[in-house]
Structure 1
Amino acid sequence: MEFDLAWILLGLPLAFILGWGASRLDLRQLRAQNRDAPKAYFKGLNFLLNEQQDKAIDAFIEAVQNDPDTSELHFALGNLFRRRGEYDRAVRVHEHLLSRGDLSGADRDRAQHALALDFLKAGLLDRAEDALARLEGTAFEGEARLARLAIFERSRDWPQAASVARRMHAAGQGDFSTRQAHYLCEQAQSQRAAGDNAGAVALLEQALAAAPQAARARLELARIAQQAGNSAEALGTLRELRAQAPAALPLAAALFAEIARTSGREAEVLELLTGYYAEAPSLDVLDAIVALSASEPKAIPGTDDSRMWYLRHLEREPSLVAAAKWLAGERLEHEEFHPQIQAALDTAARPLTRYRCAACGFEARQHFWHCPGCQAWDSYPAKRVEEL
C-alpha cells in the first residue's frame, strides 16, 4: 500500500484549525470563569460591608465553587462562619485548607491559627490547646501562647500555665513574674485546703522569690503563721508587707487586729495602724483601729471614745459608710425611729463597701486577685468603691 503524501498535506491545516478552535473555546471558558469569580467575590464584599452576612456567605460560597483553589476566599468564608457562630462550618473550611498539599507554609500556619480560633470560640478548649500548641515556632507563636495561657488559667491548670508564662517571660513577651507568683499562690491555697501547710509555705516562699513586690504571698504566709499560733512571725510578715507593698495593707487590716487580740499586742499594732492611716486613710484600716481602740482606749491619747475615729474620718473626707457606722452607736432625739433610719443608711452604704475591678467594672463583696468577670490579674484595688 502506497503512502499518499496528499493526505498529510490536507491533514496538517485541518489539525491546526481544530487545535486553534479548541484553544479559543478553552480561553473563552477561562475568561468567563474569571469574570464570574471576581463578580461573586465583589458581590460578597459588598454584602459584607452592608452587614448582610447571610448574603455575603452565599456569594463567597459561589466564588469558592468557581475557583476552589483560591485560599483567600476560604479564609474569608471561614472567618464569616466563625463570626456568625457557625463554628462547625468554620472548622470544616479551615480543615479543608490544611488538607491541601499545594498550600504555602505561611498559609498553612494561618489556617492552623484560624482553626484554633474556631475551637476557642466553640468552647472546645482541649482541641483549641492542641491546635495552638502546633503554632510553636511560627509567626503566630506569641498569640498562641497568650491563648494557651488563658486556657490553662480558665481550667485552673496552674503548673501548665506557669510553664507557658516562663517561656513567654524568657522570650521577652512581657514580665510574667507577678503572674507566676499568683500561680504558686493558687497551688498553695489547694495545699492548705488539703491540710498540707508545710507544702503551702514552700510554694509561697517560691512566690516571694519570683515576685518580692507581690502582696498576696506575704498575706497568705501571715495567715498561716497566725493560725499556727505564731503571732510574732505573722506580725513580722505584715511589717514586710507594709514596706514592700503598702497599697495592699487595707487587705491585712483585719488580720492585724486579730493578731493584736490573740497576742496581747494591741498598743503596738494600734500604733502601726494609726501611722498607716495618717499616711493613707482607708475604711478597712479605720475599722481595725476602731475595734482595737475600743479594747485599748488609752493606748493612743484622745481615743477614749473609739467611734470618734469615724468623725475624724468625716472631717478628712465625706463618707456615707463612716457616717452610718458612727450613727449606729448614737442615741437620737426620736430613738424609736433609729432602726428604720439605720437600716436605710446601711442599705445605701452597702454597695459602697464592695470592691470594683479596674479592668471591667465587675463588683464583688470580697477582694479578688483574679477577676471572675474579665479574668484579669491584680485588677481589684485594695480600696472600697467609696474610696476610689
Structure 2
Amino acid sequence: MDFDFQWLLLGLPVAFALGWLASRIDLRQLQRDERASPRPYFKGLNLLLNEQQDKAIDAFIEAVQQDPDTTDLHFALGNLFRRRGEYERAVRVHEHLLNRGDLPRAERERAQYALAQDFLKAGLFDRAEAAYRALEDTAFRTDAWLALLTLYERSREWDKAIQMAQKLEGAGAGSFASRISHCWCELALDADARGDASAAEEALRRAREAAPQAPRPLVLAGQRLARAGRHAEAVQEWNELLGSNPASFGLVACDYAASAQAAGLAPQARERLRALYERLPSVDLLAALRQLEPQAQARREWLASQLVRQPSVSAAVHLLDETARQAQPLSADEVQALHQVVAQTAKPLQRYRCAACGFEASHYFWQCPGCQSWDSYPPRRLEDD
C-alpha cells in the first residue's frame, strides 16, 4: 500500500496548531498559578529575613488560611512557633498535618519528625520519645536516634543511652565510644551512691573497654581506691593516666600527691610531676608539686623560678603564702617576678566595655565600634566595678 504524502502535508499544520494551543493553555495555567500564590507567604518571608518574627507569623497564618492545603506553609509556621518557644501552637500545626489523610508519606514523616522536635523542646520527654520511636523505619531514623541519645542523656537514663549509641555505631553513624564510656562512668557513680561496689567496678571496667584512651574511667578508678584507703593502687591507676593522657592529669594532680604521700611514694611522684610540668605546666601541677616538696626553702626557690618561667596569678599566690609562712621578706628577684604577674593580670581589667554589646577596648569610644551605639561605654574601666 503506497503512502499518500498529501496527508502528511495536511497533518503538519494541524500538529503545529495543536502544539501552539497546548503551549498557550500551559502558559495561562502558569499565570493563574502565579496569581493564586498567596502574597502573604512572600510577605512573611520578607519579614522573617528582616527578623520581624511576630509580623512574619501573622503573615504566614494569613497565607495558610488562603491556601490550607500547602504543607510548606504549615512547616514554616510550625518552625516559627517552635523557635519562639510557642510549643503548643507548633504541636497543633504539626498534628494538623498528621491528621490529613491526603498527606504523602514523605511529608507525613517530616511532620512526625517536626512534632517530635516540638515535644523535645517543650520538655515533654515521654511524648518526644514516643514520637521519635515512630520514625524507626523512615528516612529520619538516624536523626531520631541521635535525638533519642541526647534525650536519654538529659534524663539520665544511661542504660538506654548506651543501647542507642551502640545502635548508631552499628548503623555507621560514626564513633560513639567516648559517649558510651561516659555513660558507663555515670552508672558507676550511681552504683557507688547506692553502695553497690561490685556494680561500680563492673561499670568502670565496661567504660575502659568502650574507650581505652578515655581519661575519665582512670580518674574515677583512682578516686574510688583513694577513698577506700588503697593509696598505692590509686597511684598506680593514676600513673597509667599520666602515661596515656597527660593533658588530663591536672584533674587529679593534688589527689595523686596526697595518695603518694600516704603510700610513701612521694619522691617518685615528685619526679614524675616535675617531668610533666616541664612539658605541660599548669596551676594544678604547681599546687601538687608544692604539696610534695618537703623542704620549705626549696619550695620557695622553686616557686620563684617557676614564676619567672611561667607567670601566673596562682604561682604568685603560692609564693606569697610560702613567704608569709617563713616570715621572710621578698627578695628583689621575687618582687620583680610578682610585679610582672600583677601587671599582666591587670591588663584585661584596664578596659572599657560596651553596655549594649559587650565589646571591650583599652581606648574609650563615644561610639561603639562593635554595635555602632552612641554613649554606650560607661566611663569606668572594668577594674573599677
Length-normalised TM-score, structure 1: 0.71
Q: Determine the C-alpha separation between the residues in 2 that align with 1:276 and 1:175.
A: 30
Q: Equivalences for 1:220-299 in 2 at 5 Å? A: 220-294=220-294, 297=295
Find the residue that maps to 1:281 and give its secondary structure.
Answer: coil
1:326 is matched with: 319
Listed one character per residue, the Cα deviations across residues 96-148 of structure 1 (whole Å, up to 9, x for unaligned) are 11011111111001101111121122222221222112122322222222222
1:100 is matched with: 100
Are the structure 2 counterparts of residues 71 and 285 from structure 1 closer, same or farther at C-alpha, using a change threshold of 3 Å?
Answer: same
Q: CA deviation at 1:34?
A: 7.6
Are the structure 2 counterparts of residues 33 and 86 from structure 1 closer, same or farther at C-alpha, using a change threshold of 3 Å?
Answer: farther
Q: Could you tell me which amino acid in structure 1 is paired with residue 168 of structure 2?
A: M
Is 1:80 the counterpart of 2:80? The answer is yes
Runs (5+) with no aligned partner, structure 1: 1-30, 298-302, 335-340, 350-388
Listed one character per residue, the Cα deviations across residues 58-80 of structure 1 (whole Å, up to 9, x for unaligned) are 33333323332221222122222
Q: Determine the C-alpha separation between the residues in 2 that align with 1:230 and 1:49.
A: 63
Q: CA deviation at 1:332?
A: 6.6
Find the residue that maps to 1:306 and give its secondary structure.
Answer: helix
Q: Could you tell me which amino acid in structure 1 is paired with residue 209 of structure 2?
A: A
1:214 is matched with: 214
1:130 is matched with: 130
Find the residue that maps to 2:163 and give its secondary structure.
Answer: helix
Listed one character per residue, the Cα deviations across residues 311-336 of structure 1 (whole Å, up to 9, x for unaligned) are 121131211211121012324769xx
1:314 is matched with: 307
Q: Could you tell me which amino acid in structure 1 is paired with residue 316 of structure 2?
A: A
Q: Equivalences for 1:346-357 in 2 at 5 Å? A: none
Q: Could you tell me which amino acid in structure 2 is paired with residue 242 of structure 1?
A: L
Q: CA deviation at 1:180?
A: 0.7
Are the structure 2 counterparts of residues 316 and 41 from structure 1 closer, same or farther at C-alpha, using a change threshold of 3 Å?
Answer: same
Find the residue that maps to 2:298 and give its secondary structure.
Answer: coil
Q: Determine the C-alpha separation between the residues in 1 that align with 2:232 and 2:205.
A: 18
Q: Determine the C-alpha separation between the residues in 2 that align with 1:229 and 1:203.
A: 21
Q: Could you tell me which amino acid in structure 2 is paired with residue 181 of structure 1?
A: S
Runs (5+) with no aligned partner, structure 2: 1-30, 331-337, 347-385
1:305 is matched with: 298
Q: Equivalences for 1:35-184 in 2 at 5 Å? A: 35-184=35-184
Listed one character per residue, the Cα deviations across residues 239-276 of structure 1 (whole Å, up to 9, x for unaligned) are 21112111111122112212122122222222222222
Q: Which moved more, 1:311-320 or 1:105-114?
A: 311-320
Q: CA deviation at 1:217?
A: 0.6
Q: CA deviation at 1:154?
A: 1.3
2:372 is matched with: none
Aligned residues: 303
Are the structure 2 counterparts of residues 283 and 33 from structure 1 closer, same or farther at C-alpha, using a change threshold of 3 Å?
Answer: closer
Q: CA deviation at 1:235?
A: 1.9
Find the residue that maps to 1:195 and give its secondary structure.
Answer: coil
Find the residue that maps to 2:232 and give its secondary structure.
Answer: helix
Q: Determine the C-alpha separation between the residues in 2 that align with 1:178 and 1:117.
A: 25
Q: Which moved more, 1:219-228 or 1:111-120?
A: 219-228
Q: Determine the C-alpha separation between the residues in 2 that align with 1:271 and 1:165.
A: 41
Q: Determine the C-alpha separation between the residues in 1 that align with 2:277 and 2:58.
A: 66
Same amino acid, percent of matched pairs: 50
Find the residue that maps to 1:307 and give its secondary structure.
Answer: helix
Q: CA deviation at 1:178?
A: 1.1
Q: Determine the C-alpha separation between the residues in 1 that align with 2:268 and 2:289.
A: 12
Q: Which moved more, 1:108-117 or 1:126-135?
A: 126-135
| Runs of 4+ with deviation above 6 angstroms | 31-34
Q: Determine the C-alpha separation between the residues in 2 that align with 1:264 and 1:62.
A: 78
Q: Which moved more, 1:81-90 or 1:201-210?
A: 81-90
Q: Could you tell me which amino acid in structure 2 is paired with residue 318 of structure 1?
A: P
Q: Which moved more, 1:209-218 or 1:306-315?
A: 306-315
Q: Which moved more, 1:179-188 or 1:122-131?
A: 122-131
Length-normalised TM-score, structure 2: 0.72
Are the structure 2 counterparts of residues 325 and 70 from structure 1 closer, same or farther at C-alpha, using a change threshold of 3 Å?
Answer: same
